[in-house]
Structure 1
Amino acid sequence: MCASIVAFSTSAQIEAPQPSPAAKVEQTVGLTNVTLEYSRPAVRERDIFGGLVPYGEVWRTGANANTKITFSDDVEIGGKTLAKGTYAIYTIPNKDSWEVMFYTDSSNWGNPQEWDESKVALKATAKVETIPFSMESFGIFVNELSNDGAVLDFVWANTAASLAFKVPTDARTLASIEKVMNGPGAGDYYSAASFYIESGKDLKQAHEWIKKATSMQEDAFWMWRRRSLIEAELGMKKEAISSAQKSMQLAEKAKNADYVKMNKASLKEWGAM
């Protein structure tokens, strides 16, 4: 009995919250998956940049194990290409700008014992601004999302450092369109047409694709809705009204109130109701 109590006491572990809790951010930018894993230290009434985190020195950019970022595609940062993969993020904060370094060895706890410049895959400069509030817990955020890129925001205390990156959405989507067009179905034509209209590309080509989509799947009210919008953009008012009416009829049959409402709004706008 006594021995079992001793064994239990030596193997039991106390659970308690960490002073710098772990965080994980997963964000899709265009077609590229971006994953961040890092720890979030707190201000706790300390002087952060220029104090706890000295200016001009390599910082682990967080706490505990390496702050890591993973890109599923090659990305562009500051006009340079960073190959897809996982990197540790190290920074050198300064008052007016930060140097951000993507380090190929992400297995360290904090800074490497010996810094190896050959493991720096890319260096870039992040712009810095003073924010009008204090962020108690350090955070890294993927903001300003677009099809073609986003911004990494490093925020702590009253400082925010921002680094933009670009993703290869256009190239990947166009390659996918070309590949699929060898034997596309209605959904493929619809997706291709949607991308073209949303990206400001060739509307006439988008119209050809959406016509093929609706001819292959005539009861797809969402495809007819897209077709009406493309036709309206092309100045084909009569055709747009006809397609919107078709979409509304099919949506009513499918009992999809949202598409009925959207089509009614368009038909009123185009003077057909």
Structure 2
Amino acid sequence: MVVERRLYFLFGLLLGLGFAPASAQLVHPKASPAQTIIQDVGLCQVQVSYSRPAVRGRQIFGNLVPYGRIWRVGANESTKIKFSCPVRIAGNKVPAGTYALYAFPQEDLWEIAIHKDTTHWGDGRQNYSPQDDLLRFTTYPQTRTTVTENFQIGFDQITHEGMDMYWRWDRLELRFAIEVDTQAEMEKQIATALQNNPTAQTYYEAARYLQESDRDYSRALGYLDQALELGGDTYYFHRVRSLVLAALGRYEEAVAAAGKSLKLAEAEGKDEFVRMNQKNIEKWNKLKD
């Protein structure tokens, strides 16, 4: 009996000191799984971390997500968006950094908030302060014919200068533009690179950027001529040169450049470039007449 009393005493002492027998803790899957997406745009990167609730037969907007009240743009924690460089949203400057995304849905229009305080759980409710909004802007939801079961954030219409961010859930889609100033940064890089022993590839990359940006074709042509002079004939130098000449309306020269690219690509087994050049030659031959 004495031994038993001593054991009970020791057990109670251990509990009092915070030592308890180990117990199994379940790690269960979340009903609204987390996702992080990363998208490069121009020279910037945008990262979004959010959770993806499902429709599961429920009425979503105006019910599960009430109109006229703050929404966390997903589930669980607040949705975070991170910009690696300054951007513009709805004409407003947004410095590089991490922000919380909130929405204020209405039936016909939504307010979107880029919020500086990222510490709130979910939508913050009473702790949320509009004074911590970096900006708010309005956008208009559209109705889609297909259902998106799990809430989805994504990007499309991506160019060197920006992209659309879209949200889809149930039959609703909402989107807005994110703009980046790639041109200013690229012009700085081009100027610096051309002052420091530029190679054929340097000139080619500068020309390719201008061609893909649909601007300054005469300068791009000069860079390509320099690339050919320094680096010799390559199928990709001549291909971009053909595209630049066509953009300048010089279709006969564009056909000749595409012909050179085709032969060089054929010799290297680059079938896709052979086909692309053939298609362009056919198109430009009609335009030059």
Provide TM-score, normalisation by structure 2.
0.82
What residue in structure 1 maps to residue 209 of structure 2? 195
Give, in whole Å, the separation in 1 of the partners of 2:187 and 2:131.
Answer: 35
Question: Deviation per CA, 1:165-213, whole angstroms, max 9, x where unpaired?
Answer: 2121222222222222212222221122112222221221111000111
Give, in whole Å, the separation in 1 of the partners of 2:104 and 2:255.
Answer: 58
Higher RCO by CA contacts (8 Å cutoff, separation 6 or greater): 1
Of 171, 184, 192, 2:184 maps to 171
| Alpha-carbon distance change, 269 to 94 in structure 1, aligned in 2, over 3 angstroms | closer
Over the residues paired in the alignment, what is the CA RMSD in angstroms?
2.4
Of 65, 71, 74, 2:77 maps to 65
Q: Say whether the 8 Å CA contact 1:133–1:158 is kept in structure 2.
A: yes
CA radius of gyration, larger in = 2
In structure 1, give the amino acid aligned to 2:26: I
Residues 1:106 and 2:106 are matched in the alignment: no
Residues 1:39 and 2:27 are matched in the alignment: no
Q: Say whether the 8 Å CA contact 1:125–1:163 is kept in structure 2.
A: no
What residue in structure 2 maps to residue 4 of structure 1? none
What residue in structure 2 maps to residue 29 of structure 1? 41
Structure 1: runs of 5+ lacking an equivalent: 1-6
Q: Say whether the 8 Å CA contact 2:120–2:127 is kept in structure 1.
A: no
| Alpha-carbon distance change, 52 to 269 in structure 1, aligned in 2, over 3 angstroms | closer
Task: Indicate the SS of the match to 1:140.
Answer: strand
After TM superposition, the structure 1 stretch with the greater mean CA deviation from structure 2, 195-204 or 210-219, is 195-204
What residue in structure 1 maps to residue 13 of structure 2? none
Give, in whole Å, the separation in 1 of the partners of 2:83 and 2:57.
Answer: 35
Residues 1:139 and 2:120 are matched in the alignment: no
Of 46, 67, 90, 1:78 maps to 90
Task: Indicate the SS of the match to 1:10.
Answer: coil
In structure 2, give the amino acid aligned to 1:172: E
Give, in whole Å, the separation in 2 of the partners of 1:163 and 1:265.
Answer: 35
1:114-125 map, 5 Å: 114-125=127-138
In structure 2, give the amino acid aligned to 1:36: V
Of 235, 246, 252, 1:221 maps to 235
What residue in structure 1 maps to residue 245 of structure 2? 231
What residue in structure 1 maps to residue 199 of structure 2? 185
Give, in whole Å, the separation in 1 of the partners of 2:42 and 2:144.
Answer: 28
Give, in whole Å, the separation in 1 of the partners of 2:283 and 2:71.
Answer: 57
| Alpha-carbon distance change, 223 to 40 in structure 1, aligned in 2, over 3 angstroms | same
Cα distance, 1:238 vs structure 2: 5.3
Q: Say whether the 8 Å CA contact 1:127–1:163 is kept in structure 2.
A: no
Q: Say whether the 8 Å CA contact 2:120–2:128 is kept in structure 1.
A: no
Task: Indicate the SS of the match to 1:194.
Answer: helix
What residue in structure 1 maps to residue 219 of structure 2? 205
Task: Indicate the SS of the match to 2:153.
Answer: strand
Cα distance, 1:99 vs structure 2: 0.8
Task: Indicate the SS of the match to 2:246.
Answer: helix
Task: Indicate the SS of the match to 2:36.
Answer: strand
What residue in structure 1 maps to residue 165 of structure 2? 152
